[in-house]
Structure 1
Amino acid sequence: MSDGARAALAAALGVLPEYHDVAGRLHRLGDATRDRLLAALDAPTDEEGAREALDALQAEQAGRALAPSCVAVSPGPGTPLTVQARAAADAEVEYALWWRGEGEGDERLVAEGRGRADGAGVLHVVPPELVPPLGYHDLRLALRDPSGTRESAQRLIVVPPRCAAPEQVLGGERVSGLIANLYAVRSARNWGVGDLTDLRALARLARDVGAAFVGVNPLHALRNADGDVSPYSPVSRVFRNVLYLDVEAVPELAESDEARALLASPGLQERLAELRGATHVDYAGVMALKRPVLEALHRAFASRPAGDARAAAYVAWAAAQGEPLERFATFQALDEHFRPLGCGWWPEWPEEVRDPRGPGIAAFRAANAEAVDFHRWCQFELDRQLGAAAAEARALGLPVGLYEDLAIGASPAGSDVWAEPDLFLRDVSVGAPPDPLGPEGQNWGLPAVDPRRLRARGYDFWAALVRNALRHAGALRIDHVLGLFRQFWIPAGMSGAEGAYVRFPSHDLLGVLALESVRANALVVGEDLGTVPADVPPALARWGVLSSKVLVFEREGDGAFRVPRAYPRMALATANTHDLAPLAGWWGGRDPELRREVGLLLTDEAAAGAADDRGRERAAL
């Protein structure tokens, strides 16, 4: 039986029929992979069902006068917006268009009249007085043509043509900065893991050495236990890791006898000395020490009178964060409630709380109000301490300030996936295709986001991710920026060699990124390493996204390291990345030794050869 309908449906849903690997070999989409991806996208996997789904998809598109979302580059000062609507081809059309701008209350009628659709069924509506500002707006269009009367709504996102430019942020200067994994920073006063007060100290160090910024690993929320500590597989990319709170910088410490007594206790001081002297970061140990003190501080905060300025600031901040914060705090309380009962992740919770809109959520929040509020308050204090670090960096004269990092995905066991059940797909993980370092491909274990649902929701989740990441940042690194163009999806139970690429709406995602970048006056750096399709670098350049260049990879044909003037101007060059050896370890040849110890180099001869290669590299550098 022909499978043409399934192939056509997969293509319509963005599944690419083929790709070339790093060696240039062509890989075609397998039937089994295609059907598994169709199933994950809630699409039929039989020919008759696929034909019906295609017809329904085409009818849905034809039946909407406006697409559910549109990302439009600003036409420029004084130029009215052109709205593209769908109508019957070559038909006379009557229309009425309503507009509600970002932050406005009631919508208003901005255009009505008659027009003619072109041969492709596109009607151009140009309200002469509608010169849209940058931002998130809403349109509603009523349209009548020979096929009938239709009404559609659209989230219209008007974006700048480029992200904030280095010339604007840096005044045309080349600058340097420091980048540190904050969790690995040690100081005489921290608790065995770097915190946000250490970040302020790093800003002072940066000032002293003439640097323009301090970069850090993703500060995303983690579970900080059971090995669940990777900043690139977080509980949430929207909210932050309580591990980084400086307990002794919380304002309530001055008001809490209980917290001060805990801090002064011999047991805590003894354990604190052990954590400070440890050779590795003990995530669970640090949190076990910080948690009771933070809970005491939260109790002190909760006793503040309603008119207190800090209490009022908390209420306003929480209201601005809205339902996403409420869901995150609820998830954290649920996770802490059910994990001791043997429920390792949220699909194992009772059915009534597996969905954030489930029937048991309201009752759980009411019965555990203090626990939920504790997690809300921790995020409030994290935001305050991070904001203080950013403010100090700017006050010290660092033109960029903080350079933050946005991971490509979130843990399937985390808050983001639980809180957004309509966005994340089950049974599909994001990864990378086979290459010499991974012959079976890489499965990162990160659940895929459905690009259709992202678009249907007006990119609200993506906008929130970027906006929160830029809230206190002067620059932002987008991990695996190629994922804004296409992502490699691997169905559950299949190897990376059996995965396939799925197309993403890069214009729209980069447009939202540019909007938030300009609003924050912050630079954007795309991590564009590895096999990069030919169309990606020009697109990133058009949108003003800086490229990533890594010293140890930047070589000439004869193996010599490239000189600084050979690097592109629109780039951030680093000595290494979080996936590579630290520069000191690279220089000392420690990473070949470790590779031999863990079995990645199989013989002493191979290890000796790697050490010799490193000696030549060191001499070349």
Structure 2
Amino acid sequence: MTDASPLARLADAVGILPEYVDQTGERHTTGDESRRALLAALGHDAPDDDAARALLDELAHERRTRLLARVRVARADEGEVVELTLGGHGGREAEWRVEITYEGGGARVEEGRTRVEHDGSLAVVLAPPDEARLGYHTVRATARVDGATLAGEQRLIVVPPRCPDPASLLRAQRVFGVTANLYTVRSARNWGVGDLSDLATLLEYAAGTGAAFVGVNPLHALRNAEGDVSPYSPVSRLYRNPLYLDVEAVPEFASAGLDETAHGPELRRLRDADLVDYDAVMALKMPALETLHRVFRARRRTKRRADYAAWVEREGQALESFARFRALDEHFRAGGAGWWREWPDEFRDARSGAVEAFAREHEERVDLHRWLQFELDRQLAEAARRGRVAGMPIGLYQDLAIGTSPAGSDVWAQPELFVTGVSVGAPPDPLGPEGQNWGLPPLHPAAMRADGYRYWAALLRNAMRHSGALRLDHVLGLFRQFWIPEGMSGAEGAYVRFPTDDLLGVLALEATRAGALVVGEDLGTVPPEVPPTLARWGVLSSKVLYFEREEGGRFRPPRRYPRGALATANTHDLAPLAGWWHGRDVALRREVGLLRDEAAHDDALRERACDRAALLALLVDEGLLDDDEANRDPDAVSEIDVRAAVHALLRRSPSWLVGLSLDDLVGETEPVNMPGVGQDKYPCWRRRLSLSLEQLATDAPARRALGADRAWVP
């Protein structure tokens, strides 16, 4: 580090990186103004060097005098080791006592007298590797040295050395699956948006083609109104979206006296629409769900009521806070408040007496939101069960978004975990010279540690429930995140370090308990330490055909894809194959203003022509298209042939998982999302499939694109 100023040293001490290298190879240095803004957001106000020196001294004093770190993540193959810190007592004799209380019950106590290392450290081995227990344990320790007695408590998390191994879970067989945006799914029976019964049908359909999994977009809770519909900017990452409930599959529906035909014209409109109308769908579903909830509450002595009570108790305060937030949000939005920071002061604190009183006064409404989550969990479990019964070795493959909306319940309920005054985003690049501001408040690394990683563990546990695999959106965020101070541009942002091995260790523990594979979305500029670290922890990489290139722009042959990966043609932020082949995404970029002028548009078209020729050459070289003159001309090649050939190409790769997009099976041309584009310019997250589930099973082009007429070579 060349800049040794107190401000720079303080920034480095709390994890603000001094520089980064962008996609073009240019090095960017973090400026002092950005440092001060980020430090202030992290709770370290350093307007000058004297203040920075004082804060550095405080941090050093904290490290020296805290007997136990608040949390420690230890790998089981290292044993149960407790590290004590006795700063200022190096080389002295210390009497110590350490007690560990295990998550599953039982305890262990060790006592002794040991010379403290010269750096003030003292390590106590409670159990060797062959005796270490996985889980979340509590350590209490005391130490007496030089007449002083120190005490401390720690959350010790003992984790496996890696996530579950695909070779073991898949019995050494490579597999493929179908990836889908559930809200886009069209069926003859849903209410204008894909629901959990559609998901069950899709799982069964995919299983019948030999698929091992169905991957879906994040199912996190959204507001479903006013354009607030991105699954990657949720109200909560802990709980799910009632939009996906199949009203008619709720057990109380049969006896509730609800009549679907009463909504006939509106239902037909929603089913026929090309775009999901979130507001209108929820305007139909919520009154019906409210009726079903009243029927549920009226039946007091049933097994379902007992199951509900047990589920609510298990979910605890997190569910209660979420349900209260949803009821409060409805109440204040009806009065014109936009988000929770516009509520009256007494309601901005989730633990306030005013919130308690509101929950008592609106008990039925709060219970409705608890019950909706209970029913979502039940319907998701049923979909996953049908996938397993159909023979899927993985089944449901869920997605965890990188962040949560600042206007959401997670931030309201636990504000101490989130950083205000900054947003997560991406630095400037050739496609976005101003950078990207995602508007998501980052988690505070130090607060996560102080919390014992409880929130992180709960996110993972809920996301893996009923799943055989989990995708982590923007997994680079477990290494570092690009933070943009409020009021500054993306060019003034900086990267902030995260406790990588701790977060990956908790991930490995939760994945092991769930028996789930983990895939990290590691696209973009990837620092050199990321791939080996993910591989060491057993996290599969993401390999996207569009980006897998070699020298000269040639597409990478499938044999050169890594084994430890999920291979796909594209992602939710990219054009479907048919749209890419026809250049529809280039035209859209011009329509929404992402291309500066006609010259930029012409350059993009020329680049796409080169890309099409390069892809065609690979498909011919691989024998997936006939080597004749017609197939050397991209304009003469059928887009259906290209889709089928690309999927066959991906399925030749050695990668453990291959994901075939439902959009590509159907032949969609429009993307579901255009990053950085608002709803006023493009209907992001709303485009529906052109084929229904009923049509999908017999559609010849879809079967061909799937490769149903080709042998799957494991």
- Taking structure 1 as the reference length, the TM-score comes to 0.95
Distance in 2, Cα, partners of 1:98 & 1:213: 44
Q: How far does the alpha carbon of each residue in 1:71-119 deviate from its partner, in whole angstroms, 9 at most, with x for none?
A: 000037xxx5222111221121100111110132xx7451011011212
Give the structure 1 partner of residue 63 of structure 2. Answer: 61
Distance in 1, Cα, partners of 2:587 & 2:327: 43
Number of residues paired by the alignment?
609
Distance in 2, Cα, partners of 1:236 & 1:8: 35
Give the structure 2 partner of residue 264 of structure 1. Answer: 261
Structure 1 residues 385 and 142: CA distance shift in structure 2, 3 A: same
- AA partner of residue 68 (structure 2): L
Is the counterpart of residue 458 in structure 1 residue 452 in structure 2?
Answer: yes
Contact 2:77 2:161 (8 Å CA) reproduced: no
Give the structure 2 partner of residue 127 of structure 1. Answer: 126
Q: How far does the alpha carbon of each residue in 1:483-508 deviate from its partner, in whole angstroms, 9 at most, with x for none?
A: 00111111100001000111100000
Structure 1 residues 616 and 464: CA distance shift in structure 2, 3 A: same
- AA partner of residue 282 (structure 2): M
Residue 360 of structure 1 deviates from its aligned partner by 0.5
Give the structure 1 partner of residue 440 of structure 2. Answer: 446
Residue 395 of structure 1 deviates from its aligned partner by 1.1
Distance in 2, Cα, partners of 1:478 & 1:128: 33
Give the structure 2 partner of residue 317 of structure 1. Answer: 311
SS at match of 2:416: coil
Residue 295 of structure 1 deviates from its aligned partner by 0.3
Is the counterpart of residue 421 in structure 1 residue 422 in structure 2?
Answer: no
Give the structure 2 partner of residue 26 of structure 1. Answer: 27
Task: State which of 316, 324, 346 in structure 2 corresponds to 1:330.
Answer: 324
Contact 2:81 2:127 (8 Å CA) reproduced: no
Give the structure 2 partner of residue 554 of structure 1. Answer: 548
- AA partner of residue 407 (structure 1): A
- AA partner of residue 18 (structure 1): E
Q: How far does the alpha carbon of each residue in 1:250-275 deviate from its partner, in whole angstroms, 9 at most, with x for none?
A: 00112212xx14x231xx11100000
Instruction: Give the alignment of 1:118-517 within 5 angstroms.
Output: 118-127=117-126, 131-146=131-146, 148-257=148-257, 260-261=258-259, 263-265=260-262, 268-305=263-300, 307-517=301-511
Contact 1:424 1:448 (8 Å CA) reproduced: yes
Distance in 2, Cα, partners of 1:84 & 1:594: 57
Structure 1 residues 49 and 192: CA distance shift in structure 2, 3 A: same
Is the counterpart of residue 596 in structure 1 residue 590 in structure 2?
Answer: yes
Distance in 1, Cα, partners of 2:8 & 2:611: 48
Identify unmatched segments of 5+ residues in structure 1.
none
Structure 1 residues 109 and 81: CA distance shift in structure 2, 3 A: closer
Give the structure 2 partner of residue 533 of structure 1. Answer: 527
Distance in 1, Cα, partners of 2:152 & 2:144: 12
Residue 16 of structure 1 deviates from its aligned partner by 1.1
Distance in 1, Cα, partners of 2:23 & 2:589: 23
Q: How far does the alpha carbon of each residue in 1:493-529 deviate from its partner, in whole angstroms, 9 at most, with x for none?
A: 0001000111100000000001111111111001110
Residue 611 of structure 1 deviates from its aligned partner by 4.2
Distance in 1, Cα, partners of 2:432 & 2:459: 30
Residue 377 of structure 1 deviates from its aligned partner by 0.3
Distance in 2, Cα, partners of 1:238 & 1:53: 35
SS at match of 1:392: helix
Structure 1 residues 128 and 497: CA distance shift in structure 2, 3 A: closer
Distance in 1, Cα, partners of 2:8 & 2:577: 48
SS at match of 1:425: coil
Residue 43 of structure 1 deviates from its aligned partner by 1.1
Structure 1 residues 610 and 5: CA distance shift in structure 2, 3 A: closer
Distance in 2, Cα, partners of 1:24 & 1:602: 23
Distance in 1, Cα, partners of 2:357 & 2:529: 51
- AA partner of residue 567 (structure 1): Y
Distance in 2, Cα, partners of 1:605 & 1:48: 53
Residue 346 of structure 1 deviates from its aligned partner by 0.3
Distance in 1, Cα, partners of 2:593 & 2:45: 45
Distance in 1, Cα, partners of 2:166 & 2:357: 50
Give the structure 2 partner of residue 8 of structure 1. Answer: 9
Contact 1:96 1:109 (8 Å CA) reproduced: no
SS at match of 2:513: helix
Is the counterpart of residue 75 in structure 1 residue 95 in structure 2?
Answer: no
Structure 1 residues 450 and 223: CA distance shift in structure 2, 3 A: same
- AA partner of residue 73 (structure 2): V
Q: How far does the alpha carbon of each residue in 1:296-330 deviate from its partner, in whole angstroms, 9 at most, with x for none?
A: 0000011112x310000001111111101000000
Identify unmatched segments of 5+ residues in structure 2.
617-714
Q: Which stretch of the first structure deviates more once superposed, 10-19 or 186-195?
A: 10-19
Residue 200 of structure 1 deviates from its aligned partner by 0.8
Q: How far does the alpha carbon of each residue in 1:98-148 deviate from its partner, in whole angstroms, 9 at most, with x for none?
A: 1110132xx745101101121221112123589331110000000111272
Structure 1 residues 108 and 541: CA distance shift in structure 2, 3 A: closer
Give the structure 1 partner of residue 657 of structure 2. Answer: none
Is the counterpart of residue 38 in structure 1 residue 39 in structure 2?
Answer: yes
Distance in 1, Cα, partners of 2:156 & 2:185: 43
Instruction: Give the alignment of 1:74-113 within 5 angstroms.
Output: 74-75=76-77, 81-87=80-86, 88-104=89-105, 108=107, 110-113=109-112
Residue 604 of structure 1 deviates from its aligned partner by 5.2
Contact 1:102 1:136 (8 Å CA) reproduced: yes
- AA partner of residue 489 (structure 1): W
- Taking structure 2 as the reference length, the TM-score comes to 0.83
Distance in 1, Cα, partners of 2:428 & 2:567: 27
Residue 245 of structure 1 deviates from its aligned partner by 0.3
Distance in 2, Cα, partners of 1:607 & 1:435: 18
- AA partner of residue 278 (structure 2): Y
Cα RMSD (Å): 1.7
Q: How far does the alpha carbon of each residue in 1:469-492 deviate from its partner, in whole angstroms, 9 at most, with x for none?
A: 001111111011010011111110
Contact 2:108 2:126 (8 Å CA) reproduced: no
